[in-house]
Amino acid sequence: MLHATSRTARIAGVAALAGLMMTVAILSALHQPEAAPPTSVAGPGDAHLDRLARELDRCATLIMPDSGCEAAWAENRRRFFRQPAPAADGDRGSTGPAENTAP
């Protein structure tokens, strides 16, 4: 007789657990999550990022090489890998070998 009681208790426990799981499932299906306010990841350079995004969209449709697209992809890679911006053209001459200025 003891065996019959434990079997009944197991069935009741499983039924209670199933009922609890169904209740949680129904409540989560009915719950409407609140919309998160839009956040902007970009900072002060938004105009530059918008131009870069438009250029990358344009380049995605091209099938021929384009120097503007190569520059845009290079800038995008630089931003992705968080590398510093390249030096200006005027600074490149000073990074070469030192010139001999003696007469």
pLDDT tens-digit map of 42-69: 555 677 788 888 888 888 888 888 888 9
How would you label 72-86 residue by residue, b for 16+ Cβ within 10 Å and e otherwise? beebeeeeeeeeeee
What gap in Å lies between CA 62 and CA 69, rounded to an integer? 9
Q: What tokens does 35 get?
A: 């919309």
Q: How many CB atoms lie within 10 A of CB 69?
A: 16
pTM here is: 0.39
pLDDT value at residue 85? 75
What gap in Å lies between CA 40 and CA 51, rounded to an integer? 16
- List of long-range contacts for 40-48, beta carbons under 8 Å, 24+ apart: none
Identify which has the larger pLDDT, 45 or 94: 45
